[in-house]
Amino acid sequence: MAIEVRIPTILRNYTDGAKAVEGGGATLDELFADLEARHPGLRDRLVDDKGLRRFVNVYLNDEDVRFLGGLDTQVSDGDTVTVLPAVAGG
């Protein structure tokens, strides 16, 4: 099990301050469930009953998972998943 998940500052209270954690699973949904087992409360900050939370962006190897398959996006060992809050530009 070696998918690296990068955690934004604002959610590191769920990871004992760790910038990145590792997890496993065949899909993003499974990966988040796996993380939840070791970092209780984290999944609820990322996902609600409609899917990914509105102000949470998740990238699989830098590509936004909303354009890949959302929570059903396939993940595999060696992938990097990055979680970031949505911010403004311009």
Partner 1 sequence: MRFDSLLDSLGHTPLVGLPRLSPSADVRLWAKLEDRNPTGSVKDRPALWMIDKAEKEGRLTPGCTILEPTSGNTGISLAMVARLRGYKMICVMPENTSAERTQLLKMWGAQIIPSPAAGGSNEAVRVAKGLAAEHPDWVMLYQYGNEANARSHYETTGPELLEDLPSITHFVAGLGTTGTLMGVGRFLRERVPDVAIVAAEPRYGELVYGLRNIDEGFVPELYDESVLTTRYSVTSEAALRRTRELLGAEGIFAGISTGCALHAALGMADKAVKAGNRADIAFVVADAGWKYLSTGAYDGTVDEAEKRLEGQLWA
Question: Interface residues with partner 1 (CB under 8 A)?
Answer: 8-11, 45, 53-57, 59, 62-64, 66-68, 82, 84-90
Q: Which is nearer to partner 1, 25 or 70 (CB)?
A: 70
**Among candidates 16, 15, 11, 33, which has minimal Cα distance to 24?**
33
Residue 50: CB minimum distance to partner 1, A: 14
Which tokens belong to 53?
Answer: 């939370």
When the beta carbons of 1 and 87 are compared against partner 1, the nearer one is: 87
C-alpha–C-alpha distance, residues 76 and 7, integer Å: 18
CB of 68 to partner 1, least distance (A): 8
Q: Between residues 8 and 24, which has the closer beta carbon with respect to partner 1?
A: 8
Give least dist CB 3 to partner 1, A.
Answer: 17
Cβ at position 21, least distance to partner 1 in Å: 16
Quickly list DSSP for 2-70. Answer: -EEEE--GGGGGGTTT-SEEEE--SBHHHHHHHHHHHSTTHHHHHEETTEE-TTEEEEETTEEGGGTTG
